[in-house]
Amino acid sequence: MKKLLLFFMIMCFTGGLFGQATVLLNVNSFDIVYPSAFDKDDPAGQPIIFTLDMMNTSGGDLECKLAMSLFTPEYGELLSEADGLIRTYDGIPGNTENQFLAFAPLQNYALTNRDIINNNVKIEGSWNDVLDNIPDFEDFVMANGFLPSGTYTFTFYLYDLQMVEIIHCSSTMIIYNDMQVNLLAPGTEVTSGQSVDLLLPLSDNTPTFAWQSSATWYELKLWELDPSIYQSVIIDDLPDPLVVLEDLSQQYYQYDSSLPELKDQYIYVWNVIGDFTSTLGMENVSSEYYGFKFQASGNGGGDPNVENLIINLAAIGLLDPGQLGNFTPTGQIYVNGILITVDNISEFLTGLFNGDYVIESIVIE
């Protein structure tokens, strides 16, 4: 997925008493973690956030205590090690003891958040503390329906009955939850009933469509509209699109010459749907709608390739179009003092969006 994913760092530390005991922590990768993942009242409905695998390799029986903590640098300690100490264990699948976790030799426990975060497993504190302890955190979750973006660290601790640590294991997750797709260029946002005169003209017949998002995959749709009916079109109820491009992984797409040719003076409206991978499955989010009026080259405009470059530079905040005044772009673009040809402008723009190039300054002469 940048596919913006969750990133994980898994670290296990072994104490000296039962150093031969093995604890592994595996966390499934999701982009978005919703608060329902911590719903203690409906453990079976929780998406699986983590899997905790524990195996007794000491050669003898073990009787252990288990604790969990949750920390984020942005909000601090959401659940402390002391409050997250389990005090009733018979709610854990495979364990028959109430006061501790019983390990027979080579016995394995494979536990998920469904097995641990529920009302059958009592802890010293309360599962409600994950939200209730920090008002700002709770307010954000309740208002938005998801956890704030940031770094979250789960840590699991295994002790003997004297509360001497055997091993602990941490997993750090970076959560991105900006489920948005924002269009950059070409064109500007359009609305129903809008006059054709308000649309920006574009002469490039292979424009580069660009947007910002952290989705995994994208679908780009392009509609072709007769200018005589454009003002009567309902933007949310457009006819069948001219082009549908699916499974795009980049945040830009250069219109290919093999696609239907853009018609002079026609209106083109486009939008992008982003697919976000979340703990609740795939979530589809649509962008706003952008539009432009296509004017074939030779109708009094400047070089269409340079115009497209200027439009995209302005969209990503690298150039103020007001600096140009009444300037009509020619085909001369210099990069590091070297003239690049019109044929290479699209390649340069693609490299810019792809992160291959970084612009330090722009000079207009």
Residues 115 and 249 placed together within one structural domain of the fold? no
Residues 171 and 97 placed together within one structural domain of the fold? yes
Average confidence (pLDDT) per 10 residues, the chain, 365 residues: 29 40 51 66 77 80 90 90 91 87 84 83 85 82 75 88 88 75 86 85 84 88 94 90 94 90 94 81 86 74 56 62 54 59 60 63 58
Amino acid symbol at 133: N
Domain span including residue 194: 181-353
For position 288, what pLDDT does the model report? 94
For position 20, what pLDDT does the model report? 40
Residues 230 and 337 placed together within one structural domain of the fold? yes
Residues 129 and 255 placed together within one structural domain of the fold? no
Q: What letters, b where the CB count within 10 A reaches 16 and e where it falls short, cover 169-186?
A: bbbbbebbbbbebebbbb
Measured between alpha carbons, how far is residue 305 from residues 255, 277, 312, 331 in Å? 12, 36, 11, 8
Residues 208 and 337 placed together within one structural domain of the fold? yes
- Asked whether 330 and 306 are in contact (CB, 8 A), the reply is yes
Domain boundary among 175, 199, 234: 175
Based on the structure, what is the number of domains in the chain?
2
3-state secondary structure of 343: helix
Domain boundary among 149, 175, 201: 175
Residues 65 and 109 placed together within one structural domain of the fold? yes
For position 353, what pLDDT does the model report? 62
Domain boundary among 139, 155, 175: 175
Q: Strand 201-202 to strand 290-294: parallel, antiparallel, or no bridges (unpaired)?
A: parallel
In a domain, 1, yes or no: no
For position 287, what pLDDT does the model report? 94
Tell me the two tokens of residue 9: 């760092």
Beta carbons within 8 Å of 89's beta carbon, 6+ residues apart: 66, 95, 97, 98, 99, 100, 101, 121
Residues 141 and 185 placed together within one structural domain of the fold? no
- Asked whether 194 and 96 are in contact (CB, 8 A), the reply is no
The Cα 298–Cα 67 span in angstroms is: 72
We report the CATH number of the domain holding residue 330 as 2.60.40.10
Nearest to 115 by CA among 22, 53, 35: 53
Tell me the two tokens of residue 309: 């470059």
In a domain, 339, yes or no: yes
